[in-house]
Chains A and B, each alone.
Chain A
Amino acid sequence: MTVTETLRLEHVSFTYAGRPALDDVSFALAAGTRTALIGHNGAGKSTLMRLVTGLLRPAAGTVWVGDWIAGDRRPEELARRVGSLFQHADQQLFARTVHEDVAFGPRAIGVPEPELATRVTRALAALDLEAVADQHPYDLPPPARKLAALAGALALEPALLLLDEPTAGLDRRARARVTQALAERAAAGAALLVITHDLGFATETLDRALVLERGRLVGDAPLADLLTAGVGLAPWGLAAPPLAELSAALRLPGRPLRERDVARALAERCRP
């Protein structure tokens, strides 16, 4: 393997008590790349996440995180390279304040002061959480708790960010913040792997799509191709987001997908 690959799965399989959850999955992510992991509920996405974070070991195959084999490392060791946001982010928060919670991860992996303080401040600012930094995480509404957990993952400044439904329940402004924060981490070299059903968010934030179906990797393509090529998305539980639909229905030139590009094309179309 080459060192520029942040994550590589080689023929990975996993079974829960006889029920196969992942079946011979292989792919690789390079540094700085932004990938969506999509598919039906129950397709194996969260299982894959647990394998990469060391919470499960593959029944067969190998998960490489850089030059580490994930199955040989403890989760707390893997946290040096993988920042994760679990679907049930509630269960990921335990400190008395949001600030403390965000600081916990980087402190645990040995980030020294004043670097630690800088990272925490940066992560809180990136997600617009400064105003609630001193609040108890459980005094926040669930979507804001998820943002707090995401800030904790960002503050690790890891090589790989592995996020499960980061935008569930978030409003438009918070979504835009997440998009911006992830773009910044990717520009700094982090590979992004984001489990999401929110294809609107995925379109704004990511550029490659891996599709899991019943534990098998059935698609690996540029996200834009998936949304414009008329590939039947429905069998995978997916639907083109409204702007992709709009772009296709109006035959906008270049079939733009992101809001800014669709708006520009709309303005162009309506120019007298």
Chain B
Amino acid sequence: MTSTRLALEHVTYHYPATAAPALADVSLELHGGEVVGVIGSVGAGASTLLLVAAELAPRVLGGTRSGAVRCDGRSALLLPTPWTQVSGMAVSVWDEVAFGPANLGWPRDRISSAVDRALTRVDVAQLRDRDPGTLSGGELQRVILAGILAMEPEVLLLDEPTAELDPAGARFVWDLLRALARAGTAVLVATSDLDALPGAADRVVWLAGGRVRAAGAARVVLGDAALWSDDGPGSTSAAGAWRLAGLPTPLPLTVADVLARLP
């Protein structure tokens, strides 16, 4: 068993001046070497879960939290709005990616090699001299991700990391997250790209109304017919078509699953 990198224990969180909790009694463990997907309808609490796990809530955002958050190692969070995560202080992509490591007080050559490695890893080395202000949304999302990887986090928290990316770019990021997990990183990723999860996630946590509705092996949770209830986010495209066709459960999740089920 790999080490527990992040643990939330009975966490309840309220944003400032709100009566209803955004998270209610949420417990979860994240281990090195695994990718865990967080799914839910808009407003179900997935983004909040990441903000709490990163200890930005309540520390920066205010509000109140009960329960415990334990993180073993350095964590870093990719926000769903990359344009709000640019330092605004860098004249080049290289400098932007160096911003995080520089703030960790690393020696110059360690920063330099970490930045070069991260740029290559996220496949944006060709953008290194560009002004971050001139990048497209998708390019910026990858540059911000490079900046996060350059800090060499043990716990990687990502909120909709593929929302701005074209399908090839999205597949690249999912493959990258798998590779990082293989190298020991613990990855927690909130996503609405449910079609990516059967291949990309080991486990899935389904949040509804701020509570954990289901958690477990990715294929088990994604195959749960309850995901199609009113407060559920649904599941993969293949499962959706199968269900709409009125065909028997369990729901197949991928094209390959459907092919295996049909005579």
Residues of A within 8 A of B (CB): 16-17, 19, 39-43, 45-46, 87-88, 90-91, 139-144, 147, 165, 168-174, 197, 199-200, 234, 237-239, 241-243, 245-246, 249-250, 259-260, 262-264, 266-267, 269-270
Given contacts A170-B42, A200-B237, contact A239 B171 (CB under 8 A): yes
Nearest neighbor of A261 in chain B, beta-carbon distance: B241
On whether the beta carbons of A142 and B47 are closer than 8 Å, the reply is: yes
When chains A and B are docked, how far (Å) is the Cα of A157 from the Cα of B200? 41
Count of A-B contacts judged by CB separation below 8 Å: 142
Contacts of A199 in B (CB 8 A): 167
The CA-CA distance from A141 to B43 in the complex, in Å, is: 6
When chains A and B are docked, how far (Å) is the Cα of A18 from the Cα of B204?
46
Residues of chain A with a CB closer than 8 A to B241's CB: 243, 246, 259, 262-263, 266
Interface on B for A, CB 8 Å cutoff? 15, 18, 40-43, 47, 80-81, 83-84, 134-139, 142, 160, 163-171, 192, 194-195, 233-234, 236-238, 240-247, 254-255, 258-259, 262
A-B contact pairs, 24 of them (CB 8 A): A19-B134, A41-B136, A41-B137, A42-B135, A42-B139, A46-B136, A139-B15, A143-B80, A168-B164, A171-B41, A171-B42, A174-B41, A200-B195, A237-B167, A239-B167, A239-B168, A241-B195, A242-B195, A246-B237, A249-B259, A259-B244, A262-B241, A264-B245, A266-B242
| Interchain CA distance A45-B139 in the complex, whole Å | 13
Task: Let me know if B237 and A241 touch, CB within 8 A.
Answer: yes
From B43, B47, B137, B236, contact of A242 by CB (8 A): B236
Contact A246 B258 (CB under 8 A): yes
How far does the alpha carbon of A139 sit from the alpha carbon of B192 in the complex, in Å?
Answer: 20
| Chain A, Cβ-Cβ closest to B138 | A41
User: A197 and B236: CB pair below 8 A?
Assistant: no
Min CB gap B16→A, angstroms: 10
A241 to B41, CA, bound (A): 21
Residue of B nearest to A140 (CB): B43
Of A40, A170, A242, the residue contacting B237 (CB under 8 A) is A242
| Cβ distance A138 to chain B, nearest Cβ, rounded Å | 11
Q: Which residues of B contact A88 (CB under 8 A)?
A: 81, 83, 137
B81 cross-chain contacts in A, Cβ below 8 A: 88, 90, 142
